[in-house]
Amino acid sequence: MKIKYVKTAIKVGDVVFVNKDKKSLQFNLDSKLSNEDYTNNAGRVYYIVVDDEIVKIGGSQCKGGIKNTFNFYFNGYKGSPSPRTYCCWNYIRKAILDNKKVEVYFTLAPIVSARIPTMIGYEDVQIPVDFHKMEDSAVSEYLRVEKKHPYLNLQESGGKWHATGLFDAGYPLAKRS
């Protein structure tokens, strides 16, 4: 599915190498992206896009916004990454090495009014919608239209990271996996 299908997405930027080591990644931020949106702590659904095709739909509510969400992917070869983190990092890295355009888009969870229970009563607050429902809806819509999951959505499709061919001798936990 082409990213242009997603009408609610904001472009974060292009993914590029930090330097000549061709390992560490970073955003070349889109000029229209505000710093407020880039670091917004509300939940978000994100789209990893290669040559205009969505290859992963994910969600996060980590502090620091989409900026911190992608620190895991951008440094997926360091420390003790999960198979998902390592394989997504390696997929992005290989796409860039193959001169493909890698971009990231996201949709922030909207803020809604809610009456929440406290210990002794109720409080009216402004809170973001849970991103999990947004992510589930995005994956379901993709599946309905494309009749398959995005390539890197292995958890939803029942696939195995080892079957992707994205593990290599550089995987820090190769002996453990």
Looking at residues 52-61, what average pLDDT do you find? 97
Boundaries of every domain in the chain = 3-164
Of the pLDDT bands very low, low, confident and very high (cuts 50, 70, 90), residue 80 is confident
Q: Work out the widest C-alpha separation in the chain, in whole angstroms.
A: 59
Sign of CA dihedral 37, 102, 4, 109: negative
Q: Residue by residue, what is the 3-state secondary structure of the chain?
A: CEHHHCCCCEEEEEEEECCCCCCCEEEEECCCCCHHHHCCCCCEEEEEEECCEEEEEEEECCCCHHHHHHHHHHCCCCCCCCHHHHHHHHHHHHHHHCCCCEEEEEEECCEEEEEEECCCCEEEEEEECCHHHHHHHHHHHHHHHHCCCCCCCHHHHCCCHHHHCCCCCCCCCCCCC
The whole-angstrom separation of Cα 44 and Cα 59 is: 6
Percent of the chain with pLDDT over 70: 96
pLDDT for 138 beyond 70: yes
What is the pTM (predicted TM-score) of this model?
Answer: 0.91
Is the pLDDT higher at 172 or at 134? Answer: 134
Of the pLDDT bands very low, low, confident and very high (cuts 50, 70, 90), residue 173 is low
Question: Of the ranges 30-34, 115-119, 126-130, which one carries the lowest mean pLDDT score?
Answer: 126-130
Looking at residues 53-79, what average pLDDT do you find? 92
pLDDT for 77 beyond 90: no
pLDDT in tens, 23-32: 889 999 999 9
Sign of CA dihedral 159, 61, 33, 134: positive
Which class would CATH give 3-164? alpha beta
Question: Of the ranges 3-7, 112-116, 129-133, 165-169, which one carries the lowest mean pLDDT score?
Answer: 165-169
Of the pLDDT bands very low, low, confident and very high (cuts 50, 70, 90), residue 72 is confident
Contact 25, 18 (CB under 8 A): yes
- Closest to 107 in 3D by CA, of 148, 82, 141, 147: 141
Looking at residues 113-118, what average pLDDT do you find? 96
